[in-house]
Each structure stands twice: as structure tokens, then as C-alpha cells.
Structure 1
Amino acid sequence: MQKQPMTPDAIRDLVERVTSAPGYTRSVGTRVESAEAGRVVMSLAKNDGLLQANGFFHGGVIAGLADHAGGGAVSTAMPSGRFAVTVNLQVSFLAPAKGQSLIARARAIQVGSTIGVAHVDVASVADGVETPCAVAIVTLRGVDFPAK
């Protein structure tokens, strides 16, 4: 029996539940801005614990946001009861992230029965102006959710 696609409410619930669960994404303050099948937008406000020595967002924080957003995009394109975990994360940094927040826009570009791939654009936001700071390709594997 083939599993059904997720409903819009189930998509939002999954992304919110994973983002707010105890762990990294909750501790750094990741926010879900929007979530639909194959597309997720997430943001992260600046705080001192997320910065590198020059006061910019740390590259690991940018990569973490891209990873989580990409995982959300692929997870929302999978059948109900499946969840995507990272197999490979490739990040290219474009500019220092000097803004007050980060925004990551992720879209699933391929979702198969086992593996999915997402493209993620990350921008630094300062005074309402977005400056691209990274682009990522995230490859993920589908697992049962919740994990057993």
C-alpha cells in the first residue's frame, strides 16, 4: 500500500515539530517562516552565540540553517510518515553574513523513493535588504518518522 502525500496542515506540523524539538535548531532560535510541499523558508535572528570573531554569522551556523531548511523541503515532498536525514551537505559561501538575521529558502529539486536533493539559498538580512551569503545543495535519505 502506497503512503499518501502529506496535507498542508501535516506539512506545517512536521516542520514546526522538528524545528521546535529539543536540540540544535531550537537552541539557536530557528524559525519556520513558511512550509509547503517541497518548499521551506526558515530564518534565524542574530545573537552573540552565533557569531564568529568579526561579528558576522559563523559559517557553521549558516550551514546548519541551510541543512535544516533543505531537510524540511525534502521531508515535505515525501509521503506521510517519512522524514529526510542528511547524507551530504555542500555549502558555498558567497559573502560575510553581516545582517541582523539570516533567511534560508529551500526547495526540493529531486525526491525519489530513497534519496532527495534540495537547493538552498541563504541571505543575510540588514534593514530589510537581503544579501546572498551562501548557496547549498543538500542530499538526504528518507527514514521512517518518528525514528525508531
Structure 2
Amino acid sequence: MTSAATRRIDRAEAQAVLAAQPFSVLLGTRLAGFGDGTATLELDFRDDLLQQNGFLHGGVLSYAADNAITFAAGAAAGPEVLTAGFTIDYLRPARGAVLRARAEVVRAGRTRVVVRCDLTVHPADGGPGMLCAVAQGTVSVAGG
């Protein structure tokens, strides 16, 4: 649903964008999937990212949702996108080894893109993930 004038970006360019974000580098965020209106970001749990009860801090979950939402929008609408707003619902405390934020475009318009994101936590042994939060966001397309 993007216009023909929209410049698509590939995974290599998306990876370069992630690497250019100092906060993402600080957190050790990885681009695990990208393309066709989807994006998946991952980061490892670390002690300095936990809150006082030993769960991954909600701010880290929000960061992951926000960034995955914007990357998914970029996969559909090109590189000139900015978060306009998002909501997040925390479903259960995030405890595990890896956080995965998978976002998918719901609708890509000329000026706005709506995206959903599931955040799951995964054990160190690579076992199945558990849903810990869901988010939905609206992303503005510059020049749209």
C-alpha cells in the first residue's frame, strides 16, 4: 500500500541504521528479521537492564517495541519515518534470556503507518518464547 515513489530499504541498510543508534548499540540490540512490512529486534537480558525485582525493566520493553514498530514501518514506507505514538500493555513480568520484539504493519498509508508488535521472552536454551507485552503504534512518513 505504499506509493511507487517510496524508496524501499533492504536489510543491510536497516542494519546500518540500527548500528548508527547509540542507545541500540548500548543495549546490544540485534536485527533478527526485516522486510515486507515486518521487523524483529532482539536483545539479551543483562543485570543492568533489570528492575528491582529481577525482571527486564519496562523501559527496555518500551524501547524494543518503539524501535521494532518504526523499523517495520520503514520496511513498508522507506527510511524517512518517525514514531508518532504508541501504546504498550505489559502482560506478565519479563524473565528469560532473550527479548524478541516482532512488529508487523497493519496498514501503510501515504502519511501514516499503523504497526502491531508482540514482545516475547525466550530462555537461554532456545526454547519457546512467552508473550510478555503487546504494543501498537502509529508512525509518520516524512514528506507523505
**TM-score, shorter chain, exceeding 0.5:** yes
Q: What is the DSSP-based 3-state SS (H/G/I as helix, E as strand, rest coil) of the residue aligned with 1:13? A: helix
* 2:66 alignment partner in structure 1: 67
* 2:87 alignment partner in structure 1: 90
Q: Which runs of 5+ in 1 are unaligned?
A: none
**Deviation for aligned residue 1:24:** 1.3
**Deviation for aligned residue 1:5:** 4.8
**Deviation for aligned residue 1:17:** 1.5
Instruction: Please tell me the residue identity of whatever aligns with 2:121.
Output: S
Q: Which runs of 5+ in 2 are unaligned?
A: none
Instruction: Please tell me the residue identity of whatever aligns with 1:61.
Output: V
Q: Say whether residues 1:115 and 2:112 are aligned partners.
A: yes
Q: What is the DSSP-based 3-state SS (H/G/I as helix, E as strand, rest coil) of the residue aligned with 1:88? A: strand
Q: What is the DSSP-based 3-state SS (H/G/I as helix, E as strand, rest coil) of the residue aligned with 1:104? A: strand
Q: Say whether residues 1:131 and 2:133 are aligned partners.
A: no
**Deviation for aligned residue 1:103:** 0.5
Q: What is the DSSP-based 3-state SS (H/G/I as helix, E as strand, rest coil) of the residue aligned with 2:74? A: helix
Alignment of 1:23-102 (within 5 A): 23-79=22-78, 82-102=79-99
When normalised by structure 1's length, the TM-score is 0.87
**Deviation for aligned residue 1:15:** 1.7
Q: Which runs of 4+ in 1 moved over 4 A?
A: none
**Deviation for aligned residue 1:4:** 4.8
When normalised by structure 2's length, the TM-score is 0.89
Instruction: Please tell me the residue identity of whatever aligns with 1:72.
Output: F
| Deviation per residue, 1:84-116 (Å, 9 max, x gap) | 211111000000000011011110111111111
State how many pairs are aligned. Answer: 139
- RMSD (CA atoms): 1.7
| Percent of pairs with identical residues | 32
